[in-house]
Every structure is written in structure tokens, then in C-alpha cells.
Amino acid sequence: MNSDRSNHELVDVGVHSDELLVNMGPQHPSTHGVLRLLLKTDGEIITNVDPVIGYLHRCAEKIGENLLPRQWIPYTDRLDYLSAMNMNLGWSLTVERFLDVQVSDKTKHLRIIMAELGRIASHLVAAGCYGLDLGSFTPFLYTFRERERILDLFEAACGSRMTCSYIVPGGVIADLPEGWLEQCEAFLDQFDPVINELHAVLTSNEIFVRRTAGVGVLSREAAIDYACSGPVLRGSGVDWDLRRDGQPPYTDMYDGYKFEIIVETGGSYPSDHDYPAVPRSAVLGDSWHRFYVRMLEVVQSMDIIRQAIVRYRSAEDPIGKPIKIREKLPVGECYLETEAPKGQMGFMVVGNGTATPWRVRARSSCFVNLAILGELCKGCLIADIPAIVGSLDIVLGEIDR
């Protein structure tokens, strides 16, 4: 036998490590989609996390460069498919700003109703699935029961429950059917006490608090440095919401509406409602705070919807008709961000004189928020990964595009 070293024999180069690489996903319920997490562990301790994306990539932006702006609306539904109305709104406002198109006040109020219903539905999914990730099944049933009622309202308005394509450049596809506003008000009235039940079974649940309080702490400075947005940013104590701090025509929609930006200031949240206090073990910027911001934002969205219904009923101008672009878009570009349920969602359109855009771009809030994951997970336990990932409330349709 040849005395030379076998090709399969390991060569000792003097480097030894106890670290282990572990794949979590892409088929894993706690990753909330086809996300692969490459975990580097030292025993049970996480030393590094690398998110691996791209499993749901569908060339949405390139498709948008071969369609008319109105035709790309169904593709926005499938970005954050849990809040399709908000995706429709962001793209429609961008196109309207690019073309200098104004919509009626009645259309603005109707859009607010749909966008805030979408925010509630998205946050309900986030809360229910978060409890499920951490071993609590009951809140999942509560939240999805209420979300079904919102989807029923969407179906009555446009015929679709999730991929709505309802808000389009120039207006909406149709006015509300008779009796729809009364159904919406009935939902809000019955949903109000359900929120207290959710707080009882989840927010103040001792096991839930132990799994989330002090876990995955994101400092105010790090949240700003990583350009985080939405509840992830506000959960770290940063007072920033594009409904108030953004650009027209988005801020024009909310002009005159009264609502609070949910962010912790001075050890408490600015809210008139008697909800659970911040646990002593919670640290500003942890997973519990990110969850709690979403729960309180649901209440604010309900108040906004009630205001919008009153304004919609009193508005006398008609609902705007969708615009049709058959000849050409102007030469130039436009970029606009809106406050989607998961954070700042941006759309850009570039025209070169043809009917289809030269460039379409979507800036995903979830993509940016996911970038902080490695920083949050360093030093935590493997068992804490679902708690941290769930607190970011990501959706892969928006990340991969």
C-alpha cells in the first residue's frame, strides 16, 4: 500500500474551533416564509446569523418595466401579500405624484379606510403567528378570526380577500357597495373588547413575557444606523411615522386626522387606553416592545378609520376614476415612501417618454429591517431565534420581489 497521505485524511493546520454551522430554513415555520438562516453557534450560543434570501424572487421590478403603471398593480399585491391595500396605495401615490394627478377628498378618505384596515389585518397576523412561534396557540385563533372579518370587508368592496388590486392610480376601481360602512362600523365595535382579550392571553402572559422581554434588544442608535422603520424603529423609542413625517401626497391624506404615534416616551406609551404596563424585565428596543407597538397601533388605526368614515360620508365630491396611460410617461423620475404596516415602503418610477416605465423600483421595509438580525442575535440562545425573527414581522414576498 502506498505510504503517501490519503486524499480523505484531514490535514491539521493548527486551527481548531468548537463553532458549528446550523441551517434554519428555508422550510421552517418560524422563519415566516422561505428564508434560510445560517447560524454559527458555540454550543447553544449564537455567534453570528447570516440571512440567505432569494428563494421567492419573481422579477417583479423587471415585470413592472414591461407593463403600464395600472397593469403593475396586481404585482404590488404580491409584495407584502398580508397588506395588499397598502402596497396598492404606495404605488398609486407614486404614479400620481409623477403625473401630477390629484384625487378627490372622498377618494382620500376611502383609501385611508382601506389602508388602516390593512394595517390592522397585518398586525393581527404578526401577533397571532408570534404567539404561535412561542408556543401559544389560542391567540392565533383570536387574531385570525378577526382578520377574517376584515377580509370579508375587502371581498365585499372589490371581490378579492388578499390580492385586492383595489387602489389604483387616479382613484379606486369602484365605490363602496351599499351597507359596507355599516358593516365596517359593526366590526370596529365588536373588535374593541377583543383587543383586551388578546392582551390578557398574550401581552401580559408570563411565559410570553419571559420569552420576549430583554431578548433581541435594538438600541435607538442602531435602529437609526441600520435605517430600520415601522414598529421595529418605534419599538426602540424613535418617534417617526411617515403618516405625519412623510411627503405629500401621502401626508395630505392624513391632514386633519387625530392619532398618536405609538412610541415609548419616558417609560410609558402615549395612550388613553388602560392596557398592560411595560413589564419590569422589558428593555426598550427588545422583542416585547416591538410586539407591543403593533398592538397599540391597532387601536390607533381603529380611531383613524372611524374619523375617515365620518369624513367619507360628508364628502360631496365623487370618487375618482382610474387614469389610463396609453401614449407616454413624462421623462424623469419620482420616488415616494409610505408608512406600510411593516415600515417605510418606497416606490420609484422612471419615465423616458414611452407608455411603460424605463425603471421600476420597490424599496422594501422588511429587507432593511432584516439586515439588523445578525446584530440582534449575537450572544442569544438558539431558542431565542424564533422570538427575534418574529418580532421583526417580515414577509418574504416583499424582501425577494
Under DSSP, the state recorded for 268 is B
- For residue 381, the cross-strand partners are 45
Q: Is 387 helix (H, G, I), strand (E, B) or coil?
A: helix
What pLDDT does 149 receive?
Answer: 95
Q: How far apart (Å, rounded) are the C-alpha atoms in residues 121 and 66?
A: 31
- Going residue by residue through the chain, which has 401 residues, state the pLDDT in tens, using 9 for 90 and above: 444 444 444 444 455 457 888 888 777 777 777 888 898 888 888 888 899 988 888 899 999 999 999 999 999 998 988 999 999 999 999 999 999 889 999 999 999 999 999 999 999 999 999 988 888 888 899 999 999 999 999 999 998 888 989 999 988 998 899 999 999 999 999 999 999 899 888 988 889 899 998 888 999 999 999 999 999 999 999 999 999 998 999 999 999 999 989 888 766 777 666 777 777 888 888 999 999 999 999 999 999 999 999 999 998 888 877 877 766 889 999 999 999 999 999 999 999 988 899 999 999 999 999 999 988 988 888 888 989 999 998 888 888 87
Q: Write the single-letter amino acid at 41.
A: T
Domain boundaries, the chain: 58-400
Q: If we measure between CA atoms, which residue out of 64, 93, 80, 55 comes closest to residue 343?
A: 80
What pLDDT does 136 receive?
Answer: 83
Is 58-400 a CATH 1.10.645.10 domain? yes
pTM of the model: 0.90
| CA dihedral sign, ordered 108, 114, 115, 117 | positive
What pLDDT does 1 receive?
Answer: 42
Q: 400 exposed, middle or buried (CB, 10 Å; 0-12, 13-18, 19+)?
A: buried
Q: For Cα atoms 153, 130, 393, give the angle at the middle one, nearest 5 degrees.
A: 75
Q: Is the peptide bond before 357 cis (omega within 30 degrees of 0)?
A: no
Q: How far apart (Å, rounded) are the C-alpha atoms in residues 93 and 186?
A: 30
To the nearest 10°, the Cα dihedral for 109, 114, 115, 116?
90
